[in-house]
Amino acid sequence: MAITIGFQPAPIQPVFNQIFTTFTSDNSALQGFRYLVDIYATDTNTLISQQKIVPQLDASGKVDISRILANYVSVDFAQFLLVTDPATNSFFNYTIQVGEEYTTPAWEFTTIRPLVGTPQYTILSGTTTPPYVVNDQILIATTATTNPLYGLHKVISSGTNFVGVNVLYTGGVGTFSATTGSTVYADGRKTAFSGLTAITGLTVFNGVRSFAEFINYSSNSVNVGTPNTIRKMLTDLPVTNFYASSGQTLWFNVMITKTNPYNYCLVAESSNSASAITQCVSANDLREVVQFPFSFDDTGFDLDTTDWVDLYIGRVSGATTERLTIKYRVFLDRRCTINDYEIAFMDRMGSIGSFKFQLRAKQTGTIERVQYKKEVPYPYATIDKGTTNIWIGVQKDLELNTDWMTEEMNVYFEQLLSSPNTWIKNSENESFYACTITDVAFEIEFQKNKRLIRKTIKIRYANNDAVNI
């Protein structure tokens, strides 16, 4: 009885890609064989899924658990510039346990004898102890189908190497008969062994890689925390040529394996050689996703002389900072604006990116009414209504325009258009409001074909104002 793990998931993996594991067993040829796959939440040791897997043609087992795990991640969005440690919605730690079950093998007997007492029921004796208990229903097979033992019977006693059944013994008192046969559970009962082997130390995060990218994905590329090793943050933000305005915010998700006694910080280095540690989290010897917000306004830099900043995660000990990730260069956009709209969105790696829409905007609305007509009884007043509203809904739509953008921003803009989570910033109270993108088509433009690139987007507020009806 041995389970061997073949292919197993990467230690850190985007949850919306396939998460396969394969396994084999030396019992796979047994009747009714199935693999038992249990998934546990590692942090709470809670069972979240049980599956029975039918063997493949080569007797191996194969299962994709991505859809199950996707139910346990969502989005983290700390809109008020506070570091989120841990970003509990953005990752999930899990363990896979693999076991097996199969139809309980037949128990064979070699002799029969009478049960002591009255009435004299039959005792079946063998060389091994049967699995049955009193009142189990069993099927007995003998060489001769005319034998009274042949067929369905109830267990009345059980012990070491014997089982008693409710069939009257036909031999003499105290005699033994060399009758042979076999018994099985009448209901085809199975023997199950859960958790024979386990795959531990697994984590998924709220992300996805494209069809072309996933085949080359490595969990080492995003596992931040290993000394002297440069990793990536969990974001698709362009590494360079991304422009952000004063007051605009970006939120970076980072998978950090924290090691005491270090602090892990978002570090900003400016074009004029200034440096700032904007957000930090302390170590707790755990692997977690942490969300770091960034805004030019929070760096303390002189924005009149700062052209860009390089952002990275650093491991800080005293006055020493060791860089752990690649640098993301964000340029300061100082262009004049007509409007100050900002849309934040969840990108394909779970971080929250944002775009500014500085040019002209148009706001429109639609009204939906549900009405019915009723009779106005006499005598009536001129203000009495025949046609009556029972529901009125107001929807507001915005058409927004960006300023000119780089080719890298243009590629990243696609993720805004297709993101399931988007929010628009209200410039009056600096709060974000949920919205949906209503565009159903887009074009990815390249500067070799079109030197100047800007985008128009249509959005709708996700929550409507109530009408006092």
Beta-carbon-side half-sphere exposure of residue 117 (alpha carbons within 13 Å) = 6
Handedness of CA 286, 287, 289, 295 (dihedral sign): positive
| Rg of the chain, C-alpha, whole Å | 34
pTM: 0.87
Residues in a beta bridge with 153: 138
Task: For residue 17, count CB atoms less than 10 angstroms from its CB and return exposed for 0-12, middle for 13-18, buried for 19 or more.
Answer: buried
Q: Where are the alpha helices (DSSP H) in 244-359?
A: none
Task: List the structure tokens of 378.
Answer: 């006499």
In whole angstroms, give the CA distance from residue 125 to residue 112.
Answer: 6
CB–CB of 278/263 below 8 Å?
Answer: no
- Per-residue tens of pLDDT for the chain, all 469 residues: 689 999 999 999 999 999 999 999 999 999 999 999 999 999 999 999 999 999 999 999 999 999 999 999 999 998 877 888 889 999 999 999 999 999 999 999 998 988 877 788 999 999 999 999 999 999 999 877 778 899 999 999 999 999 999 999 877 655 677 788 999 999 999 999 999 999 999 999 999 999 999 999 999 999 998 778 899 999 999 999 999 999 899 999 999 988 777 889 999 999 998 888 888 888 777 889 999 999 999 888 999 999 999 999 998 888 888 999 999 999 999 998 888 899 999 999 999 999 999 999 999 999 999 999 999 999 999 999 899 999 998 999 999 999 999 999 999 999 999 999 999 998 777 789 999 999 888 877 777 777 788 999 999 999 988 888 8
Answer yes or no: CATH 1.10.3470 is held by domain 107-188: no
Q: Residue 217, Cβ neighbours under 10 Å: how many?
A: 17
CATH class of 3-100: mainly beta
User: What is the DSSP secondary-structure string of 352-375?
Assistant: EEEEEE-S--EEEEEEEEEEEE--
Tell me the C-alpha distance between 80 and 425, whole Å: 12
Report d(CA 296, CA 319) in Å as an integer. 23
Q: What is the DSSP letter of 465?
A: P
CATH number for domain 222-333, candidates 1.10.3470, 3.30.870, 2.60.120, 2.60.40: 2.60.40
What DSSP state is assigned to residue 418?
T
Q: How would you classify residue 174: left for phi > 0, otherwise alpha for psi between -120 and 50, otherwise beta? A: left
